[in-house]
Amino acid sequence: MTNLVILPIIIPLLAGILVAFFPRKLSIVRKIAQAVFIGNLVIAGYLFYYVKQYGTLILETGGWAAPYGIVIVGDMLAVTLVLTTNIIAVACAFYAPKSLSDQQESYYFYTFFFMLITGVSGAFLTGDIFNLFVFFEVLLMASYALIVLGNGKVQLRESIKYLLLNLFSSMLFVTTVAFVYSVVGTVNMAQIALRVQEVDQKGILTTIGILFFFVFATKAAVFPLYYWLPKSYSVPNPVVSALFGALLTKVGIYSIIRVFTLIFTNEPGLTHSLFILLAGLTMLFGVIGALSTNNVQLIIAYNIIPAVGFMLMGIGIFTEESLSGTIYYLVHDMVIKGVLFLLIGAIVYVAGTSDLRKMNGLIHQYPLLGWLFFLASLVLAGIPPFSGFIGKLLLMRGALSQEEIIIVITGLLSSLLILFSMMRIFIGAFWGEKDSNSSAEHKSTRAFAWPVAGLLTLSVTLGVGAEWFYPTIQSIAQYLMSPEIYIDSVLKE
Partner 1 sequence: MRIRTNDLILRTTTSIIAFILLGFSLYLFFAGHNKPGGGFIGGLMTAAAIVLMYMAYGLETMKKILPWNFRYFIPAGLLIALVTGIGSFLFGQPFLSHTFAYFQFPLVGKTELATAILFDLGVYLTVIGITMTIILTIAEDDEEPASNVE
Exposed / middle / buried, residue 101 (Cβ in 10 Å: 0-12, 13-18, 19+): exposed
Which of 13, 93, 194, 344 is close enough to bind partner 1 by CB under 8 A? 13
Taking residues 59 to 98 in sequence order and writing x for each that binds partner 1 by CB under 8 A, - otherwise, the string is xxxxx--------x--------------------------
CB of 50 to partner 1, least distance (A): 16
Which one, of 237, 228, 227, lies nearest residue 148 by Cα?
237
| Nearer to partner 1 (CB atom), residue 72 or residue 120 | 72
CB of 24 to partner 1, least distance (A): 8
**Counting contacts by CB under 8 A, is residue 14 touching partner 1?**
yes
Is 327 within 8 Å of 477 (Cβ atoms)? Answer: yes
Nearest-Å Rg of the Cα atoms of the chain is: 22
Contact residues for 63 (Cβ-Cβ < 8 A; gap 6+): 69
**Counting contacts by CB under 8 A, is residue 10 touching partner 1?**
yes
Segment near partner 1 (CB under 8 A); pick from 18-26, 224-232, 359-367, 458-466: 18-26
| Nearer to partner 1 (CB atom), residue 69 or residue 268 | 69
CB of 177 to partner 1, least distance (A): 21
CB of 16 to partner 1, least distance (A): 8
Contact residues for 17 (Cβ-Cβ < 8 A; gap 6+): 111
In the DSSP assignment, the letter for residue 59 is E
Contact residues for 288 (Cβ-Cβ < 8 A; gap 6+): 417
| Nearer to partner 1 (CB atom), residue 61 or residue 197 | 61
| Nearer to partner 1 (CB atom), residue 6 or residue 336 | 6
Q: How far apart (Å, rounded) are the C-alpha atoms in residues 73 and 118?
A: 15
CB of 414 to partner 1, least distance (A): 44
**Counting contacts by CB under 8 A, is residue 54 touching partner 1?**
no
Q: How far apart (Å, rounded) are the C-alpha atoms in residues 279 and 308?
A: 8
Which one, of 187, 181, 191, 108, lies nearest residue 150 by Cα?
108
Sign of the dihedral defined by the CA atoms of residues 333, 334, 337, 339, in that order: negative
Taking residues 22 to 51 in sequence order and writing x for each that binds partner 1 by CB under 8 A, - otherwise, the string is --x---------------------------
| Nearer to partner 1 (CB atom), residue 62 or residue 203 | 62
| Nearer to partner 1 (CB atom), residue 141 or residue 393 | 141
| Nearer to partner 1 (CB atom), residue 23 or residue 432 | 23
Which one, of 219, 188, 321, 314, lies nearest residue 260 by Cα?
314
Q: How far apart (Å, rounded) are the C-alpha atoms in residues 209 and 189?
A: 13
Q: First CA to last CA across the chain, in angstroms?
A: 21
Residues from 410 through 439 that contact partner 1 (CB under 8 A): none
| Nearer to partner 1 (CB atom), residue 10 or residue 42 | 10
| Nearer to partner 1 (CB atom), residue 127 or residue 245 | 127
| Nearer to partner 1 (CB atom), residue 103 or residue 482 | 103
Distances in Å between the Cα of 189 and the Cα atoms of 69, 133, 354, 491 are 12, 12, 44, 10
Q: How far apart (Å, rounded) are the C-alpha atoms in residues 197 and 292?
A: 45
Which one, of 241, 243, 274, lies nearest residue 256 by Cα?
274
User: For residues 450, 386, 257 and 305, what is the CA-based torsion angle, rounded to 10 degrees?
Assistant: 70
| Nearer to partner 1 (CB atom), residue 22 or residue 468 | 22
Is 102 within 8 Å of 26 (Cβ atoms)? Answer: yes
Instruction: Please count the residues of this chain forming the interface with partner 1, following the rule CB under 8 A.
Output: 18
**Counting contacts by CB under 8 A, is residue 21 touching partner 1?**
yes
CB of 111 to partner 1, least distance (A): 8
Which of 3, 353, 457, 475 is close enough to bind partner 1 by CB under 8 A? 3
Strand partners, 71: 60
CB of 51 to partner 1, least distance (A): 17
Q: How far apart (Å, rounded) are the C-alpha atoms in residues 77 and 51?
A: 10
In the DSSP assignment, the letter for residue 225 is G
CB of 62 to partner 1, least distance (A): 5
**Counting contacts by CB under 8 A, is residue 102 touching partner 1?**
no
Taking residues 234 to 263 in sequence order and writing x for each that binds partner 1 by CB under 8 A, - otherwise, the string is ------------------------------
Q: How far apart (Å, rounded) are the C-alpha atoms in residues 114 and 136?
A: 14
**Counting contacts by CB under 8 A, is residue 137 touching partner 1?**
no
**Counting contacts by CB under 8 A, is residue 20 touching partner 1?**
yes
* Binding site residues, partner 1, CB under 8 A: 1-3, 6, 10, 13-14, 17-18, 20-21, 24, 59-63, 72
